[in-house]
Structure 1
């Protein structure tokens, strides 16, 4: 999963990302987790279309890729535009859009490409019981670090 770990140089990965963005309108970056640091993934390329990049945390690579692909495709086709505070309610999972406060600290490749023009929305997902991570009875095993500030109406518990 780590292209640089597999021997590619920074320049090779950057060029590959640029080619994917040119071809598909975006690409995804998936970051493996480690003890105490859950995995995360994000888009790169939505900035070019005037939309914030998308970030998900706490999902394995396959689930993160699926979620990012679904929502990036919706953005690029004009079906959806994510803004802070948007809640999408689904049968199996709901998603809340949270503005990422310091995207440059998390979306490293996107920041390298777009600099300060880049902004990001974190897609915070519910557990199987429909609970967001800030709910008092949320599953503590589902680590989903938040990279933004919740509106006061949502509370943190």
Structure 2
């Protein structure tokens, strides 16, 4: 990130968190008028660890924040998240799976990350998918239909 004077308290907090911890978690409220779920994403993993940013949807903000922070600690510890592989380290009794986010979706959903990096082409992102109670993911034929709108597929 380029050095610049920052007056906005949200942007200032992002920069401080990235400098202190290595990343910041941004929560974004749901948009029921456009049927978009709430989501959270990391800012700074790319700069601090050359690791894609993480975005996830549809869970309570506090839960998503904890999961993204745990993923950040995992990455900070020198481990890499690989797409398509289940990880049972982050949600008790469930695995999560990551897939690459298409760059067009970064523009729509990771706006503060774009501000942080200066442009959308300078970082990549992974979407963190959580399963329904039966352990099925949104792309599985028998995934719980009531949950499908909670996790838009941003895969490229």
TM-score by length of 2: 0.82
Alignment coverage as a number of residue pairs: 140
Aligned residues: CA RMSD = 1.7
Residues 97 and 15 of structure 1, relative CA distance in 2, 3 Å threshold? same
1:28 to 25, 28, 32: 25
Partner of 1:6: none
More helix by share: 2
Gaps of 5+ in 1: 1-8, 150-157
TM-score by length of 1: 0.82
Partner of 2:3: none
Gaps of 5+ in 2: 1-5
SS in 2 for 1:94: strand
Q: Which structure is richer in relative contact order (CA contacts within 8 A, separation 6 or more)?
A: 2
Matches within 5 A, 1:1-157: 11-35=8-32, 36-48=35-47, 49-78=49-78, 80-89=79-88, 92-102=93-103, 103-114=106-117, 115=119, 116-142=121-147, 143-149=150-156
